[in-house]
Amino acid sequence: MKNKGLYYEFVYEYMSIDGTFIVDFLNNIAQTFVPKQMLGEALDFNKGSLREIGDLVFKSKALLISDPDGGYCNVYPMVQNKVTPRRLFNVVRFVDKRLPLSENERNFFLNREKLKIAYVCDSTYHFFQTTDNPSSYLIRKLDPGPLPKYFNQAFHREFIDVSQNPGREIMLPGFKFVAGSTIWFGKEAIDLLGKGKILRYPGAMDVKEKDNGLIEMRLFEDIAASGSKENQRRQRDIIQYFELDKLEVPRY
């Protein structure tokens, strides 16, 4: 499967970001992401659509902005109905990004006060480690070979069992976790996983506490080699270290 670029995800406290936040990024910060158009809109991206973004508060609407290079930025709210009390959060993600976010772009999202967690990984690897829909392979005309499957009673159909995939999205109470090449832990992730435990993790290439209170962990170097045996070993190790299987909550 051909690599399509990078995958960045920034997870925030629910309703802590709005359309003006994204407008500020697009107008004043964006260097490597050039907005082309809003997906689903006929018109090219322009100041009129910028105003439309500014009016959004991301309660229930999702916003997608395409990039000329074929990637896109997606801003959306997520609800965890299987968690008591029900948990909500907002997500900004860049998918199939050809160029890495610049330091200014990255810091714009990382320095937001209500950031829970963020990570960067290989976009294609992340998708196929996380998708549990067999149609994901069919529509791409890919032969996945034998995949572990189970029958989901609620949806009355078969799903792919991705529970053993080390690069998958892991749903935790209030946010998602991905064992990306670099992970930034915000306050909520630090509170859940433990500051000392994060800083003492022996399997990282580098771990450091930042001036803004985040903890930055470099898990492995080569993002494009996320699926290598060594990097998958690193992904499994961090999942086991934090005992995420005990913290994981149902996706559906």
First to last CA, the chain: 27
Q: Could you read off the pLDDT of 203-236 as tens digits, one per residue?
A: 999 999 999 999 999 999 999 999 999 999 999 9
Task: Kindly state the percentage of the chain with pLDDT values over 90.
Answer: 62
For residue 166, being part of any structural domain is answered with: yes
Domain of 53?
6-242
Q: Closest Cα partner for 172 from 63, 93, 77, 250?
A: 250
What span, in angstroms and rounded, lies between the C-alpha atoms of 220 and 203? 9
Q: How far apart are CA 165 and CA 69, in angstroms?
A: 29
Query: Is residue 2 very low, low, confident or very high in pLDDT (cuts 50, 70, 90)?
Result: low
What average pLDDT does this structure show over 102-107?
A: 97
Amino acid occupying residue 99: L
Per-residue CA distances from 208 to 13, 110, 218, 219 (Å): 23, 15, 9, 12
Q: Is residue 247 part of a domain?
A: no
Mean pLDDT for 189-199 is: 98
Q: Tell me the pLDDT band of 45, cut-offs 50, 70 and 90.
A: low
40 within some domain: yes
Q: What's the token pair of residue 169?
A: 């999205």
Least confident of 25-39, 91-105, 132-146, 220-234: 132-146
Q: Which of 33-37, 66-70, 244-248 has the lowest mean pLDDT?
A: 33-37
**What digits encode the pLDDT tens for the residues 3-26?**
679 999 999 999 999 888 988 998
Total tally of structural domains belonging to the chain: 1
Q: Identify the sign of the CA torsion 125, 197, 207, 71.
A: positive
d(C-alpha 193, C-alpha 198), whole Å: 7
Query: Does 15 reside within a domain?
Result: yes
CA angle 156/129/227 to nearest 5° reads 160
Cα separations (Å) of 239 from 23, 122, 200? 36, 18, 15
In the predicted structure, residue 1 carries a pLDDT above the cut 60: no
In a domain, 251, yes or no: no
Residue 250 lies in a domain: no
